Structure 1
Amino acid sequence: MLDRLKALRDRPWTVALLLAVIAEALFLIHLDQPSVIMFDEIHYLPAAQALLDLSGPRNVEHPMLGKELIAAGMALLGDNPFGWRIASTIAGTATVLGVFAFLWLLTGSMRASLVGGLLTLLNQTVYVQARTGMLDVFLGCFLVWALVMGLWSMKGSGKRVWWRWLAMGVLLGMTTAVKWAGVPYIVLAGLAFLVIRIRDARRARKPVLSALSGKDQPHWPGLPAIPALLAMGGVSVVTYFLTFLPAFFYTTDPLTSLSGLFAQQIHMWQMQTQILPHHTYQSSWWSWPLMLRPIWYFYEWDRGAQRGVLLIGNPLIMWGGLVAVLACYWAWFKDKAIKPLAIALLWTASLAIYVVIPKSIGFYYYYHPSSIFLCMALPLAFLHFDKGKNRGWEEWFVALSLLMFGYFYPILSGAALANSQGFVHWMWIGSWR
């Protein structure tokens, strides 16, 4: 059906605008539910207020950019639920658009791009994070747009390759400036660049060292490998450290030198790697794809009603997405399809990061980037195995995902529940309680 709509196929900017309006409107509806601080907002909202007041360091275990963005929302709309969460809604909308843009650049298919954007909107983790004053929604947003810029730079020419490539470096630096979980993606971007260049050299039957040259390259033409990697890394590092500028103007314990800035990074490392006590909602990385331990961000009496906000993925997308990842791997083994393989590897790497990160405990919200990549894998799998026959499988999948989202909506949005046991209806698995 979507590919029969000529007007949509030929107007990606119009479709993107409509998608943005729908996403932002959905995120804004009853944004003040709950009307009080929930879950880890208790860490980031005081830190954001401290940034507005320049009173002194708060929540120093994480970099500053995410808290600066929350602070910007509070400066705009005040110290209230809308101010706490407005920046998150914008980042959530940008994430939806980023998936749309990435799939459009990757496939040129309006069907796949729109399906990916809609699944991102409906995958539930993006919805909840986009309505919460926490950091992960910003990490996911900047990461997705870094991927967009990296892919766009592959297709450029002349100076456009360089500025798109450097824009990716800026966005990767911003990802890291939200959470250190962004660091591995800088490494992965560099490795992907080298692997693609080496593959191009082998396909052209050129010496492997020709991959280092910027001349006669099918991808990133005019971009010599070593200067490009150094520039990308350098821009990322500079972007990261620039976000610490407000810390030099604190009235209490300000940074006074570059050595103090570097010392703070050591302190952050110590806090990130410390052994933490058991937490009710902690979970292991292997359990996140299975969605065994979602998190109640809120479950209290608020504004005359029992309300709850559960961070839980859309089961159809989260579990169906795992099938899509396997299908993408199969597309490579069967047909040597490189695009599905790239998305499957991206999802796998995003999860594998937490196998090696030295964190003593984990939480389901760490899976946020991976949940977004599932929304890329699904349309890629549909597109590859549909073979251009437009059977409409993905449209039915989106429709069913919408129904599932509607089913869970009351405990995603903080809507009024019947009573204190009103949540039981949605508890399919005992560990969800």
Structure 2
Amino acid sequence: MLDRLKALRTRPYLVALLLGLAAQTLFAFHLDRPSRIMFDEVHYVPAAQALLDLEGPRNVEHPLVGKELIGAGIVLFGDNPIGWRAFSSFAGTATVLGAFAFLWLLLGSMRAALVGAVLTALNQSVYVQARTAMLDVFLGAFLLWAMVLMLWAMRGTPRQVRRRWVGAAVLLGLAVGTKWAAIPYVALAGLAFLVIRVKRPARWPGLGIVVGLLILGTVSIATYLLTFLPAFFYERDPLTLAGLIPLQQEMYALQTQVLAKHTYQSDWWSWPLMLRPIWYFYEWDAGAQRGVLLIGNPVIMWGGLVAVLACLWAGSREKAHRPLALAFLWIASLAIYVVIPKSIGFYYYYHLSAIFLCLALAAAFHHFDRGRGKGREEWFLFAALAMFVYFYPILAASALPNDQGFTHWTWFNSWR
């Protein structure tokens, strides 16, 4: 099937346009369901509204970028479910396109890029987050596109390289300005640049190691600090330059405080196994019982673990550096939550790792297929699509037959 798209192989921009339209249509269809605030929207929608009114600090534990984007949706589309979630849907589409661009640049294969992008759209984490006014979908989009620009900066004239590198640093700053969970990725980006630049000096022509690291650090930090600009105009407790650093200390204290136990809390090691998904919504709404369950696509989430092992094998036995790098990226994304000082965790923290699984799957299929076009990816995509369709009613807040309708999809007691 994918091999029949030969005419599009040399037209990635056209393919990206079609892919983006399809993804946005998928994410935006019935975006107003449910018609009420769900799960952590209770924190971020009021914070975005307060930010628009410049009334004063709210939801201080997180930076402002995600709430600024939610607020932008309210300005454009109104203070309603579509307005709350509009920019989340755009970020979901950007994530799918980011997966496509990243794999196209990394592997040079239209087939692999399409496989990774479609799997990203179907992994269910991206779908649910793209229809929820929370922060993680913005975090994923900014980080993925920072990775794209870092790859793109490996080629071109020295001027193009530097411009793209600055763009990557800006996106990393915006990612940190969305959620502090991006900070380790800035460090990983610097480490990856250092290692690759030492081993392959021809990469990033005209960009020295010291200059590259300085740009990455200074531009990302400056971008992050600039995202606080609206806070200087609050009517109550406006931010001052002298208060900028103490604010960071307050944010750190709030993010590292010991929280009370939560019904949906889970440990990092349980996320790859999907032991504790989260009901974002399960109520009577718009004349029917409806639910939104944040749960990964079993075909992708569990199949992706096999792909990570395959990428590790390819790297260790065949010196396949690209699959190995993606395996390490997934491992690092999970290891971050082993070391950061959070008292409790939730399955939605796995959002980035779920995206990286899709990249690893595409890379594994690409590597082991070796251009023979055996169609394994197509069967896997079909299975992933079938599973997405199966779970769709409780991903999209569709009408359920009764208040016990959820039992059809909760295979295990821990999913209830």
TM range (shorter): over 0.9
Matched residues in 1 for 2:309 and 2:155: separation?
28
What is aligned with 1:32? 32
| Counterpart residue type for residue 83 of structure 1 | G
User: Normalized against structure 2, the TM-score is what?
Assistant: 0.99
What is the SS of the residue equivalent to 2:291? strand
Hey, what does 1:204 align to over in structure 2? none
Read off the aligned partner of 1:190 and give its amino acid letter: G
Please name the residue that 1:131 is paired with. Answer: 131
**1:360-411 deviation digits (Å, cap 9, x = unpaired):** 0000000000000001000100010111110000011111111100000000
Counterpart of 2:181 in structure 1 is 181
Matched position secondary structure for 1:310: strand
Match of 1:207 in 2: none
**Structure 2 CA distance, aligned partners of 1:341 and 1:199?**
16
Letter in 2 for 1:193: F
**CA offset digits 1:283-307 (Å, max 9, x no partner):** 0000000010000000000011100
Q: State the match for 1:239 in structure 2.
A: 223
Q: Which amino acid aligns with 1:376?
A: L
Instruction: Tell me which of 283, 287, 291 is aligned to 1:300.
Output: 283
User: For residue 108 of structure 1, what is the aligned residue in structure 2?
Assistant: 108
Match of residue 288 from structure 1? 271
Question: Could you give the per-residue CA deviations for residues 163-210 of structure 1, whole angstroms, max 9, x where no partner exists?
Answer: 11111100000000000000001100110011112222xxxxxxxxxx
Q: Which amino acid aligns with 1:239?
A: T
For these two proteins, the number of residue pairs brought into alignment is 416
Structure 1 residue aligned with 2:333: 350
Separation in 1, partners of 2:219, 2:360: 30
**Residue in structure 1 matching 2:203, options 209, 212, 219:** 219
Match of 2:149 in 1: 149
**What is the CA–CA distance in structure 2 between the aligned matches of 1:146 and 1:156, rounded to whole Å?**
17
Q: What pairs with 1:18-167 in structure 2 (closer than 5 Å)?
A: 18-167=18-167
5+ residue gaps, structure 2, are none
Structure 1 SS opposite 2:265: coil
What is aligned with 2:400?
Answer: 417
Secondary structure at 1:259 match in 2: coil
Q: Match for residue 394 of structure 1?
A: 377
Aligned twin of 1:171:
171
- Give RMSD over aligned pairs: 0.7
- Provide Cα deviations, 1:203-244, integer angstroms capped at 9, x if missing partner: xxxxxxxxxxxxxx3101111111210111000000001010
The within-5 A match list for 1:253-268 is 253-255=237-239, 257-268=240-251
- Structure 1: runs of 5+ lacking an equivalent: 201-216
Q: Give SS of 1:388's match.
A: coil
Q: Which moved more, 1:156-165 or 1:296-305?
A: 156-165
Return the offset for 1:430. 1.1
Aligned-partner residue type, residue 428 of structure 1: W
The secondary structure found in structure 1 opposite 2:249 is: helix
- Note if contact 1:155-1:219 (Cα within 8 Å) is conserved in structure 2: yes
Contact 1:3–1:9 (Cα < 8 Å) also in 2 = no
* Structure 1 residue 4, shift from structure 2 partner: 3.8
Q: 2:332 & 2:271 partners in 1: Cα distance?
A: 14
SS at match of 1:229: helix
Q: Distance in 1 between matches of 2:38 and 2:334?
A: 26
C-alpha distance in 2 between matches for 1:423 and 1:324: 30
Structure 1 runs (4+) deviating above 6 angstroms are none
- Is contact 1:103–1:376 with CA below 8 Å preserved after alignment? yes
> Which residue identity lines up with residue 33 of structure 1 in the other structure?
R
User: Hey, what's the Cα distance between the residues in 2 that align with 1:269 and 1:131?
Assistant: 28
Number of the residue aligned with 1:383: 366
- CA deviations 1:146-167 (Å, max 9, x no partner) are 0000111112322011011111
Structure 1 stretch 93-102 or stretch 2-11: which is displaced more?
A: 2-11
The answer to whether 1:426 aligns with 2:409 is yes
Q: Distance in 1 between matches of 2:107 and 2:78?
A: 42
Q: Distance in 1 between matches of 2:197 and 2:96?
A: 29
Q: Does the CA contact (< 8 Å) of 1:3 and 1:110 recur in 2?
A: no
Matches within 5 A, 1:301-320: 301-320=284-303
Using structure 1 for the length normalisation, give the TM-score: 0.95
8 Å CA contact 1:283, 1:362 repeated in 2:
yes
Map residues 324-335 of structure 1 onto 2, 5 A cutoff: 324-335=307-318
Secondary structure in 2 matching 1:166: helix
**Aligned residue identity for 1:113:** A
Distance (whole Å) between structure 2 residues aligned to residue 315 and residue 354 of structure 1: 22
* Cα deviation 1:108-158 (Å, max 9, x = unaligned): 111000011100000000000000000000000000000000111112322
Q: Secondary structure at the match of 1:184?
A: helix
Structure 2 residue matching 1:299: 3-state secondary structure: strand
User: Separation in 2 of the partners of 1:71 and 1:145?
Assistant: 22
How many Å apart are 1:259 and its aligned residue? 1.7
C-alpha distance in 2 between matches for 1:278 and 1:421: 26
Q: Supply the AA of the counterpart residue of 1:266.
A: Q
Question: What secondary structure is seen at the aligned counterpart in 2 of 1:313?
Answer: coil
Question: SS in structure 2 opposite 1:379?
Answer: helix
Whichever residue aligns with residue 99 of structure 2, its letter is V
Q: Distance in 2 between matches of 1:291 and 1:273?
A: 25
